[in-house]
Amino acid sequence: MPRSFFIQEISMAHSEQQNTSRRSLLKRTAGLSALAMTGIAGFSLPAVSFAAALSKEQRDNMTPDEVIASLKAGNQRFRAGKMLQHDYLAQKRASQKGQYPSAVILSCIDSRAPAEILLDAGIGETFNSRVAGNVENDDILGSMEFACALAGAKLVLVMGHTSCGAVKGAIANAELGNLTGLLNKIKPAIAATRYDGERSASNYDFVDAVARTNVQMTLQDIRRRSSVLNKLEQEGKIKIVGALYHLVGGKVEFLA
């Protein structure tokens, strides 16, 4: 399973970390033996896996489909409340001389939709760009091209979410400073959304339908506007996919 690539027992000493001696013991077989020798009856080891930063070899050996599978597995852990124990200091140390993220993610600024947490990813695993309404622009396209063509990421993931305030604002024709121009970039998704019910910002079912269309249109725009990414996808080196995060339930639904 791809995700197992990420899961490694961190057995090095953590000088920077304020580990209790108990936690250090738990991480090593030797520690378990020591516990056994001290005769702690009925002690059960929690099912703990420590997540390490991706190595170049681990990332390079993954296919785009395996990256998708690993992100899906991460979201399943998040939903089940069984996230990996991210030792951020160990991940920081492991990645300080180089980074080998498997994916670049474009998602909304919404405080309820932090991609790394929803996908149970740690330091060094994903490139992230966030803008209200997860629409691309020249600078984001350039960032994605860097991530895939130069830094070796295998997946471009555009992740919208339900109850998106930016989508809602676009439907309501909200106007405010620079926000007006940003919302204008979402508006084509409104017209392109087939919906028989009430097409208003107060109908969250419609708002979510537009959010879904908006993700699909961002994917189309990325392919159309970035010959670099389009070529990488045509060659099978990367995949460009969309997803919708459901605030209720926590599922990251990958779109076909």
Least Cβ distance, residue 246 to Zn ion (angstroms): 13
Residue with tokens 């991530």: 147
Pick one of 52, 54, 71, 108: the residue that binds Zn ion (CB under 5 A).
Answer: 108
Which residues make beta-bridge pairs with 239?
155
Q: Which residues, 4 to 43, sit near Zn ion by CB under 5 A?
A: none
Q: Determine whether the annotation assigns residue 86 to a binding site.
A: no
Site string for Zn ion, 151-170 (x = CB under 5 A): -------------x-x----
Q: Determine whether the annotation assigns residue 120 to a binding site.
A: no
Least Cβ distance, residue 238 to Zn ion (angstroms): 25
Question: Given the complex with Zn ion, which of 52 and 244 has the nearer CB atom?
Answer: 244
Least Cβ distance, residue 164 to Zn ion (angstroms): 3
Q: Are strands 103-107 and 155-161 parallel, antiparallel or unpaired?
A: parallel
Least Cβ distance, residue 165 to Zn ion (angstroms): 5
Least Cβ distance, residue 214 to Zn ion (angstroms): 10
Question: Given the complex with Zn ion, which of 75 and 99 has the nearer CB atom?
Answer: 75
Pick one of 84, 86, 110, 207: the residue that binds Zn ion (CB under 5 A).
Answer: 110
Half-sphere exposure (Cβ direction) of 134: Cα atoms closer than 13 Å: 32
For residues 4 and 27, what is the distance between their CA atoms, to the nearest angstrom? Answer: 17
For residues 221 and 214, what is the distance between their CA atoms, to the nearest angstrom? Answer: 10
For residues 77 and 3, what is the distance between their CA atoms, to the nearest angstrom? Answer: 11
Question: Given the complex with Zn ion, which of 102 and 134 has the nearer CB atom?
Answer: 134
Q: Determine whether the annotation assigns residue 108 to a binding site.
A: yes
**Helices marked H in 18-127:** 21-26, 29-38, 56-60, 64-80, 88-95, 115-118
User: Is residue 189 a contact point for Zn ion (CB under 5 A)?
Assistant: no
Residues touching Zn ion: how many (CB under 5 A)? 4
**Helices marked H in the chain:** 21-26, 29-38, 56-60, 64-80, 88-95, 115-118, 138-145, 165-171, 179-191, 204-225, 227-234
Question: Given the complex with Zn ion, which of 130 and 239 has the nearer CB atom?
Answer: 130
SS3 254: strand
Least Cβ distance, residue 74 to Zn ion (angstroms): 21
Residues recorded for the chain: 256
Question: Cβ atoms within 10 A of the Cβ of 225, count?
Answer: 13
Q: Determine whether the annotation assigns residue 148 to a binding site.
A: no
Site string for Zn ion, 66-105 (x = CB under 5 A): ----------------------------------------
For residues 151 and 104, what is the distance between their CA atoms, to the nearest angstrom? Answer: 10
- Binding annotation: 108, 110, 161, 164
- Binding annotation for Zn(2+): 108, 110, 161, 164
- Given the rule CB under 5 A, which residues bind Zn ion? 108, 110, 164, 166
